[in-house]
């Protein structure tokens, strides 16, 4: 049986380890966090993701997934650890470096090391390979190495790990081919072989494209607000053009990927990456725009209470990392607003999360921050009986405005001016 050791049991590593384990590999799932490992041994993944619990259960009961706090010898190593940015927007490769260092003693002739973490261009060649070379083995012939970025969408991870095409960037042709032989065991999408730096750049291009496009939508939204028209309407009509696909505006860009990855390019190419840097700043500024909108709108209300609906970074996920709600709540609290927050999926957050009725009770303004399906079905007449003032700001264009108006609510839509 083939053996694998997956380093990092997060949003990517845990699904990948489980899928390998259910596709004929004996997998060591290695994480430095002993809590994650011990909970997993008891069958409890620390992440909520559709289909993950049953997949992990299948992997564990088959005996092929072995959670561990130590790496072990294996034919295939998969590194899937975080690559955050520091507060001054420089890439922090410390997790990749320590993961690679932890593998040096267990590398053996003939093994393959796959890096899946999002990394600046050149990381595989200039950072990973020199560390692996400390094993004394020849990297490229005795140890194959490839960069194969994960491209799965949180909320659809299990599906997309199997279905998406993969880009496989080897440090040489033999490495790319060895990696292909691993991914072909569970990926139904096409496998595209290339070199490692190209694969690194492909991954950054994908997320940067999305960030720049969302920034464009947000910038158009600010213009439409001044023009007294509706950006959602403008974008949906512009997107009827066969070669136009503008993204959606919103309260800002969250998560651990899109607000982070474009900085890798800005950091590396500060003089060239003008559009990318500006887009990051436009998107980062959106929670502040939401704050300004709320504070101007209800400036005549004394001691106002704001109910934030949704603290995860996007709909139907439990992940609140880099969430625009976090920034908004901070701004509101700094300016003396009383804030309550609700989320149907998030368990732990920087402020206490309360049930829906408590959040709405005596509120002066509701702010829809996350497009959770549950919020689409909110009953405005029930909400009307709980709040102090009937104001709702929709940053996601998800409410049925006529219904809310009927229940007596004034509705503001982010990206729509009030003058028409
Ligand atoms: N957002 C908008 N407008 C949009 C789309 C998204 O404001 O039109 C916001 C969301 O609300 C959210 C943020 O952007 O706050 C990011 O959400 P997302 O769904 O665009 O992306 P992620 O971060 O969940 O996942 C992305 C995906 N990348 C691409 O679609 C190019 C995913 O495929 C990657 O694997 C993932 O990053 C990653 O791990 O890099």
Which backbone phi and psi does 33 adopt, to 5 degrees? -85, 110
Atom index in ligand 1 nearest the CA of residue 324 equals 15
Residue 209 alpha carbon, nearest atom of ligand 1: 31
Three-class SS of residue 101?
helix
214 Cα: distance to centroid of ligand 1 (angstroms): 10
* Strand-pair category, 391-394 with 365-368: parallel
Q: Whose CA is nearest to atom 32 of ligand 1?
A: 153
Which strand ranges, in their side-by-side order, compose the sheet holding 166-170? Answer: 65-68, 25-30, 2-7, 76-79, 112-115, 144-147, 166-170, 191-195
CA of 276 to the centre of ligand 1 (A): 16
Residue identifier of the C-alpha nearest atom 28 of ligand 1: 207
**Residue of 5, 203, 365, 412 marked catalytic:** 203
Burial class of residue 242 in the structure, from the number of CB atoms within 10 Å of its CB (0-12 exposed, 13-18 middle, 19+ buried)? exposed
Query: What distance in angstroms lies between residue 205's CA and the mean position of ligand 1's atoms?
Result: 13
Name the one residue in this structure whose structure tokens are 């609510």.
Answer: 409
Alpha-carbon gap, residue 113 to 272, rounded angstroms: 32
CA distance 338 to 380: 22
Per-residue confidence (pLDDT) for residue 374, from 0 to 100: 95
- Quote the pLDDT of residue 420: 43
Q: Can you say whether residue 155 is alpha, beta or left, with left for phi > 0 and alpha for psi between -120 and 50 degrees?
A: left
Atom 20 (ligand 1): residue with closest C-alpha?
210
- Is 203 designated active site? yes
Tell me the CA–centroid distance for residue 372 and ligand 1, in Å: 15
Beta bridge partner(s), residue 394 = 368, 413
Per-residue pLDDT of the chain (420 residues), as tens digits, is: 699 999 999 999 999 999 999 999 999 999 999 999 999 999 999 988 899 999 999 999 999 999 999 999 999 999 999 999 999 999 999 999 999 999 999 999 999 999 999 999 999 999 999 999 999 999 999 999 999 999 999 889 999 999 999 999 999 999 999 999 999 999 999 999 999 999 999 999 999 999 999 999 999 999 999 999 999 999 999 999 999 999 999 999 999 999 999 999 999 999 999 999 999 999 999 999 999 999 999 999 999 999 999 999 999 998 998 999 999 999 999 999 999 999 999 998 999 999 999 999 999 999 999 999 999 999 999 999 999 999 999 999 999 999 999 999 999 999 999 854
CA of 260 to the centre of ligand 1 (A): 11
Per-residue model confidence (pLDDT) at position 417: 95
CA–centroid distance, residue 72 to ligand 1 (Å): 34
Task: Please tell me the distance between residue 386's alpha carbon and the centre of ligand 1 in angstroms.
Answer: 34
Q: What per-residue confidence (pLDDT) applies to 124?
A: 98
Residue 310 contacts residue 325 (beta carbons within 8 Å):
yes
Of all protein residues, the one whose alpha carbon is nearest to atom 38 of ligand 1 is 257
The CA distances from residue 220 to 253, 282, 348, in Å, are 16, 11, 34
The verdict on whether 257 is a catalytic residue reads: yes
Taking CA atoms only, the protein residue closest to ligand 1 atom 11 is: 314
pLDDT at 249: 98
**Ligand 1, residues at Cβ distance < 6 Å:** 118, 150-154, 206-207, 210, 214, 247-248, 250, 253-255, 257-258, 313-314
Ligand 1 atom index nearest CA of 255: 23
Residue among 14, 204, 210 whose CB has most ligand 1 atoms within 8 A, to mutate: 210
CA 37 and chain centroid, separation: 22
Asked whether the beta carbons of 117 and 25 are under 8 A apart, the reply is no
Strands 391-394, 410-413: pairing kind = parallel
Among protein residues, the one with the nearest Cα to ligand 1's atom 35 is 151
Closest-lying ligand 1 atom to the alpha carbon of residue 12: 39
Backbone angles phi, psi at 162, to 5 degrees: -85, -35
Instruction: Specify the pTM.
Output: 0.95
Residue 418: per-residue pLDDT: 80
HEC string of the chain? CEEEEEECCCCCHHHHHHHHHCCCEEEEEECCCHHHHHHHHCCCCCCCCCCHHHHHHHHHHCCCEEEECCCCCCCEEEECCCCCECCCCCECCHHHHHHHHHHHHHCCCCCEEEECCCCCCCHHHHHHHHHHHHHCCCECCCEEEEECCCCCCCCCHHHHHHHCCEEEEECCHHHHHHHHHHHCCCCCCCEEEEEHHHHHHHHHHHHHHHHHHHHHHHHHHHHHHHHCCEHHHHHHHHCCCCCCCCCCCCCCCCCCCCCCHHHHHHHHCCCCCHHHHHHHHHHHCHHHHHHHHHHHHCCCCCCCEEEEECCCCCCCCCCCCCCHHHHHHHHHHHCCCEEEEECCCCCCCCCCECCHHHHHCCCCEEEECCCCHHHHCCCHHHHHHHCCCCEEEECCCCCCHHHHHHCCCEEEECCECCCC
- Ligand 1 centroid vs 258 CA: distance in angstroms? 6
Consecutive H or E run containing 288: helix 286-297
Candidate from 221, 314, 375 with most ligand 1 atoms within 8 A of CB, to mutate: 314
3-class DSSP state for residue 186? coil
Mutate to test the pocket of ligand 1, among 49, 153, 162, 396 (most ligand atoms within 8 A of CB): 153
The ligand 1 atom at the shortest distance from the C-alpha of residue 218 is 7
What is the Cβ-side half-sphere exposure of residue 112, based on CA atoms within 13 angstroms? Answer: 27
**Which of 119, 148, 224, 257 is labelled catalytic?**
257
Cα–Cα distance between 52 and 67 in angstroms, integer? 15
Indicate if the alpha-carbon torsion angle 375, 380, 385, 391 is positive or negative.
positive
């Amino acid at each position: 049986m083939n053996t694998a050791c997956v380093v990092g049991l997060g949003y990517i590593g845990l699904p990948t380890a489980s899928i390998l384990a259910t596709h004929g590999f004996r997998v060591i799932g290695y994480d430095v966090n002993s809590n994650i490992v011990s909970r997993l041994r008891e069958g409890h993944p620390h992440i909520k993701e559709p289909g993950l619990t049953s997949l992990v259960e299948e992997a564990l009961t088959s005996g092929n997934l072995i959670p561990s706090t130590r790496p072990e010898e294996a034919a295939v190593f998969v590194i899937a650890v975080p690559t955050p940015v520091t507060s001054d927007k420089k890439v922090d490769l410390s997790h990749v470096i320590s993961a690679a260092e932890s593998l040096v003693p267990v590398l053996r002739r003939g093994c393959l090391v796959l890096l899946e973490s999002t990394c600046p261009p050149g990381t595989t060649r200039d950072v990973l390979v020199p560390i692996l070379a400390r094993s004394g083995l020849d990297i490229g012939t005795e140890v194959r190495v490839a960069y194969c970025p994960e491209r799965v969408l949180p909320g659809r991870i299990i599906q997309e790990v199997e279905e998406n095409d993969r880009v496989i960037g080897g440090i040489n042709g033999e490495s790319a081919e060895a990696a292909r032989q691993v991914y072909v065991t569970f990926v139904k999408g096409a496998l595209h072989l290339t070199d490692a730096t190209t694969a690194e750049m492909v991954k950054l291009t994908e997320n940067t494209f999305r960030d720049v496009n969302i920034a464009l939508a947000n910038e158009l939204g600010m213009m439409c607000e001044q023009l007294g028209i509706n950006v959602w309407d403008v974008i949906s009509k512009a997107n009827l053009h066969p070669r136009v696909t503008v993204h959606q505006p919103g309260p800002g860009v969250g998560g651990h990927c899109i607000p982070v990855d474009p900085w890798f390019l800005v950091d590396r190419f500060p003089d060239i990456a003008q559009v990318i840097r500006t887009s990051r700043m436009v998107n980062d500024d959106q929670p502040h725009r939401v704050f300004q909108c709320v504070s101007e709108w209800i400036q005549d209300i004394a001691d106002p209470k704001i109910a934030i609906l949704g603290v995860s970074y996007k709909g139907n996920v439990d992940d609140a990392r880099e969430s625009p709600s976090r920034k908004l709540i901070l701004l509101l609290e700094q300016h003396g607003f009383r804030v309550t927050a609700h989320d149907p999926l998030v368990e732990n957050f920087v402020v206490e999360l309360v049930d829906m009725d408590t959040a709405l009770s005596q509120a002066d303004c509701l702010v829809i921050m996350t497009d959770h399906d549950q919020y689409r079905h909110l009953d405005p007449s029930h909400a009307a009986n709980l709040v102090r003032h009937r104001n709702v700001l929709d940053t996601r264009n998800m409410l049925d405005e006529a219904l809310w108006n009927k229940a007596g609510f004034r509705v503001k839509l982010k990206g729509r001016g009030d003058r028409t």
